[in-house]
Each structure stands twice: as structure tokens, then as C-alpha cells.
Amino acid sequence: MFASKTAFLAAASVTLAAVLGPNLSRAQQPAAPLAPITLEGDAARGVVLAETCNGCHGVPGSHNAYPSYHVPKLGGQNADYVEVALQGYRRGTRGHETMQAQAATLSDQDIADVAAYFASLPGEAEVGRMSGTALQVEEGRRKATACVQCHGQEGIAAAAQWPNLAGQHESYLLEALTQYKNGQRADMLMGPLMAPLDDATIEELAAFFAAQPHLHNTARP
């Protein structure tokens, strides 16, 4: 048993690099995984810092312009995962110009505070906005067995550094999974898992997790 989440991620990094390294070019070599920030977050300070986030994340149903997909819900998301995500945008291993520009201005303490704020917001469990069929949801449930170890049986993460997927918007999940598949999001765990999946399977996984109630909107008060 690993002594910490950081140790687990480091060990996973070494293992996957050893397996995949010989088959990947230098440009394809995955970045070392990020870990949650070891600073206590201040939600009261985070609410001030997150004001610039509310133009998108505080408007239920808000869309990213191009490509078009629903802006992800943050209510009910794990603070540790929000920290990892913001570090990814700051590092540039997640591709989104607006998010990269926002994250580039944040210190580690800022990230911890913003994450604490969003994780503290109350709300009722909701399903995500979706257009998938009942058949796609059931196929997604069947094919999600490889996701369970990190994201849980119904999309509620087994550990706080992984994202809760249950109740996230289908179009956002589809975009995120596709980015892992094509390398626009560089992640040494998700990349190899997504690479062999066809578009239909990715659509089914997105439909399944969106149909499970958990995450909620964080509308402006």
C-alpha cells in the first residue's frame, strides 16, 4: 500500500513510462502526473478569486463557444481534483486558451483557495444535460468497468484527486475524453486508456456518467 497519493502517482508514472516509453516519440511522452497541492484552502478567499470563473461556471447551461460543449459543473467536485485540473491548465498539459490564461495568474495558494470554494458550495445532486439514448447509457455502464477503480461504480470518485463524473454534462465529458484520446490533454493514465476507444464507445461512456446524479450547478447567488 502506498503511503500517500503522491507516492501512488509517482509509482504509476514510472510503471506506465516503462511500458509505453519505447513505443512513443519524445513529443508523445506523457508528462509526469500532477498531485493535489499540499496547502490548506481558504474558501472565503476563494470566493473572491473565483469571481472571474462565474461568468462561465456560474451560469447553468453555459456553453464553450468553439468547440461547442457545456461548461462543466463544479458543484460537488473534489477540491483535490480541481487543484490538479488548474495545475494542468497552468502547466499547459490541458488545452483551453481561456483556462490556461486564467490559471497562469494563480499561485499554489490561489489554486487551493479556489478549489476549496467550489468544493464547499451546497446543492442537490443532479444529472447532467444530455442527448444520449437509454441504449447508449446502458452500453456505457457495461463498458465503464475500466473506469471503476478511480471513478467509482457510478462515477463518484474513489479518491479525492480523481474527478467525480456522475452528473457532469454529457457534451463536456465527450470533449474531455476526446482530448485525452487525441493528446490535447496530456495525461499518462488517461491517455493510454482512451487511445484505443472508438468514438461510439466514448459517446456511450459520456452518456452513462452524465445520467448518474451527483454534481450540481454553481449559479451566482
Q: What is the pLDDT of residues 154-173, one digit of tens each?
A: 999 999 999 999 999 999 99
Run of H or E including 64: strand 63-64
Q: Which three cell numbers stand for residue 168?
A: 457532469
**How deeply is 13 buried, as exposed, middle or buried, from its count of CB atoms within 10 A (0-12, 13-18, 19+)?**
middle
As a whole number, mean pLDDT of residues 37-47 equals 95
As a whole number, mean pLDDT of residues 91-112 equals 95
Q: What is the DSSP letter of 75?
A: B
C-alpha to C-alpha distances, 92 to 65, 98, 184, nearest whole angstrom? 20, 11, 10
pLDDT, one tens digit per residue, over 14-33 is 444 443 444 443 334 455 67
- Cα gap 44→194, rounded to integer Å: 37
The answer to whether residues 163 and 78 touch, using CB atoms and an 8 Å cutoff, is yes
As a whole number, mean pLDDT of residues 127-134 equals 97
Q: Name the superfamily (CATH) of residues 33-210.
A: Cytochrome c-like domain (1.10.760.10)
Check pLDDT > 70 for residue 208. Answer: yes
Question: 37: which residues sit within 8 A by CB, 6+ positions away?
Answer: 83, 87, 108, 111, 112, 115
pLDDT of residue 30: 54
Q: Which three cell numbers stand for residue 133?
A: 439514448
Residue whose grid cell is 451566482: 220
Check pLDDT > 70 for residue 209. Answer: yes
Q: Which three cell numbers stand for residue 83?
A: 487543484
Task: Give this prediction's pTM.
Answer: 0.84
Q: Of 5-19, 133-147, 184-198, where does mean pLDDT reach its minimum?
A: 5-19
CA angle 104, 67, 204 (to 5 degrees): 110
pLDDT of residue 170: 98
pLDDT, one tens digit per residue, over 182-197 is 999 988 889 999 999 9
Check pLDDT > 60 for residue 210. Answer: yes
Residue whose grid cell is 474531455: 176
Q: Which three cell numbers stand for residue 96?
A: 483551453
Residue whose grid cell is 447553468: 60
The answer to whether residues 160 and 78 touch, using CB atoms and an 8 Å cutoff, is yes
Q: What is the 3-state secondary structure (H, E, C) of 160-180?
A: CCCCCCCCCCHHHHHHHHHHH
Where do the structural domains in the chain lie, given as residue ranges? 33-210
What angle separates helix 79-91 from helix 108-120, to the nearest 10 degrees?
140
- Strands 63-64 and 69-70 come out as antiparallel
pLDDT of residue 155: 97
- The mean pLDDT of the chain is 87
As a whole number, mean pLDDT of residues 128-153 equals 96
Q: Residue 219: pLDDT band by 50, 70, 90 thresholds?
A: confident
Of 152, 160, 111, 112, nearest to 8 by C-alpha is 160
pLDDT of residue 190: 94
